[in-house]
Amino acid sequence: MTESNKESAQPSFATLGLAPDVLQAIVEIGYESPSPIQAEAIPHLLEGRDILGQAQTGTGKTAAFALPLLSRIDLNLKKPQVLVLAPTRELAIQVSEAFQHYANKLKGFHVVPIYGGQDYRQQLRALDRGVHVVVGTPGRVMDHMRRGSLKLNTLRCLVLDEADEMLRMGFIDDVEWVLEQIPREHQTALFSATMPNQIRKISETYLNNPALVSIKVKTTTAETVRQRYWMVSGMHKLDALTRILEVEETDGIIIFSRTKTMTVELAEKLSARGFAADALNGDIPQKMREQIVNKLKGGQLDVLVATDVAARGLDVPRISHVINYDVPYDTESYVHRIGRTGRAGREGDAILFIAPREKRMLHSIEKATRQRITQMDLPTREQINTHRVNRFKQQITDALGKEEHLDFYRQIIESYRMEQDIPSLEIAAALASMSQGDSLLPMKRESRKEKTRSEKPRKERTSRDSRSSKEGRNSDRKEHRKGGKSAQSETHKKNSSNKPRDMVPEGYERYRIAIGNTHNIQAEQIVATIADTAGLFHDDVGAVSMQSSHSTVDLPAGMPRDVFRALRKSWVSGQKLEIEHIKSETSESRPPRSKKHHTDEPQSKKRNKRKGPAKGGKAGNTPPKKRAKARKPKQDK
Ligand code: ADP
Ligand code: MG
């Protein structure tokens, strides 16, 4: 094995030995020179050698295998000669499209993507027509092999694309199964962004004296991506986000959040604030996911709120901004995330929201990427106000430039002016008000008072609960105990769904925490810590009822174990939270799973154990209506 990591002396595509038709296609697509992984891998693959290729995401691995394999395809043999396994449907489609693209000079060439969640019949028809290349997710490929609809006796090359991701998603058993079934005599190419041990083991078992091509890029992130972070402080992340989106020059935007639920909620909240936003997560049926990505590509959508897994490998050139709304789990994920922007040498922006206690992650990222991430300030009120006004002025200028209806309107305004004897400026101001409503009015200073008003329900609860005198506290407590309807519980409508406060609201469960009034900690601080640790909106944290040495808090039902563990370990102002679930008659010792805080993780892990052909994930089969309902245990906002 030879390890090479040359980066200089890049050969041109013409010297690599690709088939003329393939070369012609690349020239037309406009690739100037091969990327390092392409330059290294293509000659080996053309020779028919096995290869173990490692290079960061966004470095052109697809073409690194597609171009040489296409160069060797036998167009007369209308049978699968190349099989590519990819971790997700999106990637399977993307790779399949890339093949199609690079093969546009190859007459009669056929490639088909096969993946779970899509109708079998469509895939069977495509396979029946005769294809040269099959790109599929491991489970669905396995199903077709079992059914006999995918015969691989003519296979010449197997590609494992994004192998580390397949491992991470629990597909490795399926991959090994496929590897066991295919003809002994074949070429194998394994591409991966990272080389965990298990991948190495697979390559030792299944690859035959592979050429090892490892491209160690100086920095793992594109240099064309400007990276900034905002230290989460003093403002809700959603408000910070909207401020940023308002003044940044953006095109397409991907926002990463940790949980599927959060992607939906955040997308809804952004839509409500006037952004063309949608969510992308593993629960959304495949068809819809494709449509969503296409909308982003086509500009009908500007903001995609996604989980790591759902957005992995997305290649949408117009993405100008990646926003890490929640900090990524590790530096790898960060690199993958921001690799969605700055594609193919364009410029891009990455913004990371990071809480003070997550600072260590910031340093790890800087170390891993060997790039500085600079601190950014939120746009000030003045900047936003100026920006809004300027934008409006620009709209006026644009409208004046478009002559179309101006004549007609001029007549109306003129007659109005004459009839009413009102100066043009006054009329213009009225029209501006009609067209802009209050959206241009200067943002006001967020005084404490104002904040309190806007968050009334919680603030009331907070101040009363945490600052009441001993006497007050006791009576408060009694009132809760009784569960009686009082004037106070009326004011908590929002948080208690119109039920007495002692009832846990629907979709919520009650927890006990080891912080009480004696600790002199504000309920607000507790809410903030819980929300940040659990990946919840502050609004989703239910009522905190403080007692002397402990408190109770209502949290969305179905807290995943890892979140619970993280919460158990967290501290608020030097006091351990020591959260415990309070069992009610209806709930088990462990909270039942439901819709809030789900991550992509458990589902993909589950796949590991899945037997039989029911592939595609239950996500794909969930009717959207039902999902939409399930998403919102709380309807009261
Ligand atoms: P990876 O699989 O390594 O993450 P991709 O294969 O998805 O990367 O390629 C990333 C982007 O780079 C794609 O948009 C692709 O069209 C583009 N690309 C690939 N090779 C070249 C090249 N030689 N020159 C310019 N752009 C390229
Ligand atoms: Mg790839």
pLDDT along the chain (637 residues), means of 10: 39 91 90 86 96 85 97 95 93 94 95 87 86 95 92 95 89 91 91 90 92 73 83 84 90 91 92 92 84 93 91 86 89 85 81 88 85 89 87 89 84 94 93 84 50 34 35 34 33 36 78 89 83 75 87 86 83 85 57 41 35 36 33 35
Chain-centroid distance of CA 77 in Å reads 41
User: What is the pTM assigned to this prediction?
Assistant: 0.46
- Identify the pLDDT of residue 546: 87
Q: Is 308 in the pocket of ligand 1 (CB under 6 A)?
A: no
Q: How much distance in Å is there from the Cα of 64 to the middle of ligand 1?
A: 9
Q: How much distance in Å is there from the Cα of 51 to the middle of ligand 2?
A: 15
Q: Whose CA is nearest to atom 20 of ligand 1?
A: 60
Q: Is 392 in the pocket of ligand 1 (CB under 6 A)?
A: no
Q: How far is 88 from 116, CA to CA, in rounded Å?
A: 9
Q: How much distance in Å is there from the Cα of 60 to the middle of ligand 2?
A: 7
Q: Which of 368, 364, 435 is nearest to 396 (CA)?
A: 435
Long-range contacts for 491-497 (Cβ within 8 Å, ≥24 apart)? 491/457, 491/460, 492/457, 492/460, 492/461, 492/543, 493/457, 493/636, 494/457, 494/636, 494/637, 495/457, 495/458, 495/461, 495/542, 495/543, 496/543, 497/634, 497/636
Q: Whose CA is nearest to atom 22 of ligand 1?
A: 31
Strand partners for 196: none
CB of 40 closer than 8 Å to CB of 4: yes
Element (H, E) at 134: strand 133-136
Q: Is 552 in the pocket of ligand 1 (CB under 6 A)?
A: no
Q: How much distance in Å is there from the Cα of 297 to the middle of ligand 1?
A: 17
Q: Is 89 in the pocket of ligand 1 (CB under 6 A)?
A: no
Q: Is the dihedral of CA 260, 265, 266, 270 positive or negative?
A: positive
Q: Is the dihedral of CA 589, 593, 598, 602 positive or negative?
A: positive
CB of 144 closer than 8 Å to CB of 150: yes
Q: How much distance in Å is there from the Cα of 469 to the middle of ligand 1?
A: 65
Closest ligand 1 atom to the C-alpha of 94?
A: 7
Q: Which among 23, 33, 42, 62 is the best mutation to test ligand 1's pocket, defined by most ligand atoms within 8 Å of the CB?
A: 62
Q: List, in sequence order, the alpha helices (H) in 492-623.
A: 493-496, 523-534, 561-569, 601-607, 617-621
Q: Is 61 in the pocket of ligand 1 (CB under 6 A)?
A: yes
| Domains of the chain listed by start with CATH number | 9-214 (3.40.50.300), 225-381 (3.40.50.300), 402-438 (no CATH), 455-482+496-582 (3.30.70.330)
Q: Is 507 in the pocket of ligand 1 (CB under 6 A)?
A: no
Closest ligand 1 atom to the C-alpha of 62?
A: 6
Q: Whose CA is nearest to atom 18 of ligand 1?
A: 60
- Identify the pLDDT of residue 455: 34
Q: Is 603 in the pocket of ligand 1 (CB under 6 A)?
A: no
Q: How far is 355 from 349, CA to CA, in rounded Å?
A: 20
CB of 61 closer than 8 Å to CB of 53: yes
Q: Is 203 in the pocket of ligand 1 (CB under 6 A)?
A: no
- Identify the pLDDT of residue 604: 35
CB of 302 closer than 8 Å to CB of 20: no
508, two tokens: 């919520």
pLDDT in tens, 397-449: 988 888 778 888 999 999 999 999 999 999 999 999 998 887 777 665 543 33
Q: What is the CA radius of gyration of the chain?
A: 29
244, two tokens: 């940023």
Closest ligand 1 atom to the C-alpha of 317?
A: 14
Q: Is 59 in the pocket of ligand 1 (CB under 6 A)?
A: yes
- Identify the pLDDT of residue 491: 31
Q: Which of 299, 275, 279 is nearest to 289 (CA)?
A: 279
- Identify the pLDDT of residue 331: 81
Q: How far is 295 from 378, CA to CA, in rounded Å?
A: 29
Residue 224: strand, helix, or coil: coil
| Residue carrying the six token digits 């020239």 | 27
Q: How much distance in Å is there from the Cα of 57 to the middle of ligand 1?
A: 9
pLDDT in tens, 240-296: 999 999 888 899 999 999 888 889 999 999 998 889 999 998 888 878 888 999 999
pLDDT in tens, 280-301: 988 888 788 889 999 999 999 9
DSSP string of 292-348, one letter each residue: HHHHHHHTS--EEEE-HHHHTT---TTEEEEEESS--SSHHHHHHHHTTSSGGG--E
Q: Is 54 in the pocket of ligand 1 (CB under 6 A)?
A: no
Q: How much distance in Å is there from the Cα of 577 to the middle of ligand 2?
A: 42
Q: What separation in angstroms does the CA of 12 have from each of 16, 32, 186, 218?
A: 7, 8, 28, 21
Closest ligand 1 atom to the C-alpha of 37?
A: 3
Q: What are phi and psi of 9, to 5 degrees?
A: 50, 55
- Identify the pLDDT of residue 221: 60
Q: How far is 631 from 637, CA to CA, in rounded Å?
A: 13
Q: How far is 409 from 124, CA to CA, in rounded Å?
A: 59
- Identify the pLDDT of residue 222: 63
Q: Is 192 in the pocket of ligand 1 (CB under 6 A)?
A: no
Residue 84: strand, helix, or coil: strand
- Identify the pLDDT of residue 258: 82
Which ligand is nearest to the Cα of residue 87, counting in written order?
2
Long-range contacts for 184-188 (Cβ within 8 Å, ≥24 apart)? 186/155, 186/156, 186/157, 186/158, 187/45, 187/48, 187/49, 187/50, 187/156, 187/157, 187/158, 188/50, 188/51, 188/157, 188/158, 188/159, 188/160
Q: How much distance in Å is there from the Cα of 495 to the middle of ligand 2?
A: 46
Q: Whose CA is nearest to atom 23 of ligand 1?
A: 34
Residue 396 CA neighbour count, 13 Å, CB half: 12
310, two tokens: 């759902």
- Identify the pLDDT of residue 344: 66
Q: How far is 121 from 399, CA to CA, in rounded Å?
A: 51
Cβ neighbours of 560 (radius 10 Å)? 19
- Identify the pLDDT of residue 345: 66
Q: Is 307 in the pocket of ligand 1 (CB under 6 A)?
A: no
Which ligand is nearest to the Cα of residue 297, counting in written order?
1
Residue 513: strand, helix, or coil: strand
Q: Is 34 in the pocket of ligand 1 (CB under 6 A)?
A: yes
Q: Is 57 in the pocket of ligand 1 (CB under 6 A)?
A: yes
Q: Is 63 in the pocket of ligand 1 (CB under 6 A)?
A: yes
Q: Is 35 in the pocket of ligand 1 (CB under 6 A)?
A: yes
CB of 376 closer than 8 Å to CB of 228: yes
Q: Whose CA is nearest to atom 1 of ligand 1?
A: 58
Q: How much distance in Å is there from the Cα of 228 to the middle of ligand 2?
A: 26
> Which are the contacts of 306, defined by CB distance < 8 A and separation ≥ 6?
254, 255, 256, 257, 263, 279, 280, 281, 314
CB of 321 closer than 8 Å to CB of 248: yes
